[in-house]
Chains A and B, each alone.
Chain A
Amino acid sequence: MHPALLIDFGSTYTKLTALDLDQERILGTSSACTTSADDIMKGLDKALALLEVQTGDLDYRMRLACSSAAGGLRMMVSGLVPELTAEAARQAALGAGARICRLFSHELSSRDLTAIEDDPPDIFLLTGGTDGGNRECITGNAEKLASLSVRFPIIYAGNRSALDDCERILSDFPLTLCPNVMPRFGELNIEPVQKEIRALFLSRIVTARGLSRTRELLSGILMPTPSAILSAVRLLADGCGGEPGIGELMAIDVGGATTDVYSIGRGEPDDLQIIFKGLEEPYAKRTVEGDIGVRYSIQGIAGEKGLDWIACRAELPADQVSALIGQLAARPSTVPSAAGRLRKLDDALAAGAVEIASRRHAGTLTRVYTPMGIAYMQTGKNLRLMERIILTGGPLVYAGDPLAIAGQALHSSLHPESLRPRQAEAFLDQSYILSAMGVLAESQPEIALRVMKRELRLIGRCGQTLHQD
């Protein structure tokens, strides 16, 4: 036996997975409340004790972790045009698992600078201009950052032609130079930046957050949790070595505060008549909805879907739903029992979260009437032909009817413009292991892949069946 301990330090829960690397099987999983940011060891100890009850005393050869505790990886990003370099920078940071606390475009204002100074980010991503393009914006912003009284790590990933100037201007910041996030118009190049974000997270952030105390026990905190999930689902889609993946997919992680959606696939137009517009889309894409979650962000779901929609799905009277939503918002740690009205309400909220977050993640198709006939324009990612949806996160893992909730991620006649999957197989992360497998994938991708393929449970098929002649 070769046991490995995989840890996910969350902001609310610390989740553990014990895995035997020889047999490639899960020995046990447990979770406990993360006590507080400054002493995450207590939460870990509690969860370890719970795990030990299942597994007995194990001599772990490998202890790996991901973390979204202590606010996660807090980034600020700046670019020139909101839909272009600022969007490319946003995609880069989201895909690296960051929480974007501020997004700037064009020149930084004095208010922006005050906001940066008041609460400096873990990393600032500075972009703007294509290579050889606009340089005034990024050099101006570099000068403004240099005038601040605070220092923080900066990743420069803008116009190459302004790089020398900016390197000089920012000489007393910890500065990492990267290839441009948008080297040519519309071309997205975010993976080099994501690699640097990961490296900075390891070398600086973990230490600064007091997470380093855990280091004595761990082989390393490898990455922010969303980044672990993104690597896990990318591995699951693409495969590795001799082990094939399951193909293009989307994954949805509903939480108490946020809902994350991931898609692995090219997402290009599926018809020659459709013209793609805007910035290229990342193959492995993550979006996060900060206003959509079943506890802290419950009002976001209620506000967008409406009380009647939630009440109808939960089969409860609207006034009762309204009261319960107030209670859940006030007590975010509430966990519903297996059956009962809270469970029904949680399912309805999760369905709402999935519907909203998948719609915001997917691209859109616009019909344009031209003198030559109807033309279609696609912006964002086309997920219509994606055939797999992975569900993770407490509200989905413990849902009464997860298949019905998965159906909310599909194409709907209420939003025909949204390029969501037409039909899909739904898989449930029943043992709650996606983040752990993302961490393990760093060193043992084939094992992580085989474990995922076995542990993710196919719960059924949803959506319209296509009639074929």
Chain B
Amino acid sequence: MLVIGVIGADVHAVGIRILEFAFREAGYQVTNLGVMVSQEEFIGAALETGADAIIVSSLYGHGELDCRGLREKCEEAGLGEILLYVGGNIVVGKQDFSDVEKRFRAMGFDRVFPPGTTPEEAIACLDKDLGVK
């Protein structure tokens, strides 16, 4: 079970639908929270659905602010071990992605995807991290 959504005040509605479709095609059960999702909503949904991973999308450049503290909140909610992925245009401007990845890893994300990642790449990571294939 995956919980997916676009975090913060971000209203980009299309990409998340494509991801939902791709994850379902790959055999995952998906709870798509849509756009403008708060950290609390991600956590509430993950708790109730017994999710294996929270997949956070952000396309408007404020991802770093929006994602801060998500891992800590998961730990507070008893979801300490849950997989956290993040992807999209998660920072402002053109920055060296290895720096960006380092910062998000330090925030507790297990995988950080750069702009232009295909759904297949994310699915391959999920399969590996969850030991499904």
Contacts and interface: CB of A to CB of B under 8 A. Distances in A.
Interface in B26-52: 29, 31, 33-36, 41, 44-45, 47-51
Nearest to B62: A371
Nearest to B78: A106
B70 interface: no
Interface stretch (A76-84, A215-223, A389-397, A447-455): A76-84
B113 interface: no
Contacts of B41: 277
Interface in A244-301: 275, 277
Contacts of B123: none
B107 interface: no
A408 interface: no
A84 B1 CA distance: 17
A43 B36 CA distance: 56
Contact of A185 (B9, B35, B48, B61): B48
B10 interface: yes
Contact of B36 (A128, A275, A371): A275
B82 to A, nearest CB: 12
- Majority DSSP secondary structure for residues of A touching B: loop
A132 B2 CA distance: 12
Nearest to A88: B48
Interface string A58-87: 000000000000000000000011011100
A368 B3 CA distance: 23
Q: Chain A, interface size: which category?
A: 20 to 34
Contact of A83 (B29, B44, B49): B44
B44 A375 contact: no
A117 B29 CA distance: 39
Nearest to B44: A81
Contacts of A368: 9, 36
A185 B1 CA distance: 12
A185 B45 CA distance: 7
Contacts of B47: 80-81, 84, 134
A134 B45 CA distance: 10
Given A80-B47, A377-B36, A132 B1 contact: yes
A277 B49 CA distance: 17
A182 interface: yes
A372 B33 CA distance: 20
Given A275-B36, A371-B60, A371-B62, A81 B11 contact: no
Interface string A115-141: 000000000000011101111000000
A370 B9 contact: yes
A71 B118 CA distance: 60
Interface string B47-72: 11111000000001110000000000
A218 to B, nearest CB: 42
A184 interface: yes
A135 to B, nearest CB: 7
A1 to B, nearest CB: 56
A185 B49 contact: yes
B49 to A, nearest CB: 4
A133 B34 contact: no
Nearest to B3: A185
Contacts of A129: 48-50
Interface in A113-171: 128-130, 132-135
Nearest to B8: A370
B44 A84 contact: yes
A262 to B, nearest CB: 27
A375 B36 contact: yes
Nearest to A137: B47
Contacts of B11: 275, 370, 372, 375
Interface in B1-35: 1, 3, 9-11, 29, 31, 33-35
A182 B36 contact: no
Contacts of A85: 48
Interface in A157-198: 182, 184-186
B128 to A, nearest CB: 23
Contacts of B48: 80-81, 84-85, 128-130, 133-134, 182, 185
18 contacts: A81-B47, A84-B45, A84-B47, A129-B48, A130-B49, A130-B50, A134-B47, A134-B48, A182-B48, A184-B31, A185-B3, A185-B31, A185-B33, A185-B49, A186-B45, A371-B9, A372-B60, A377-B36
Interface of A: 80-81, 83-85, 128-130, 132-135, 182, 184-186, 275, 277, 368-372, 375, 377
4 nearest CB pairs, A to B: A133-B49, A370-B9, A133-B50, A134-B50
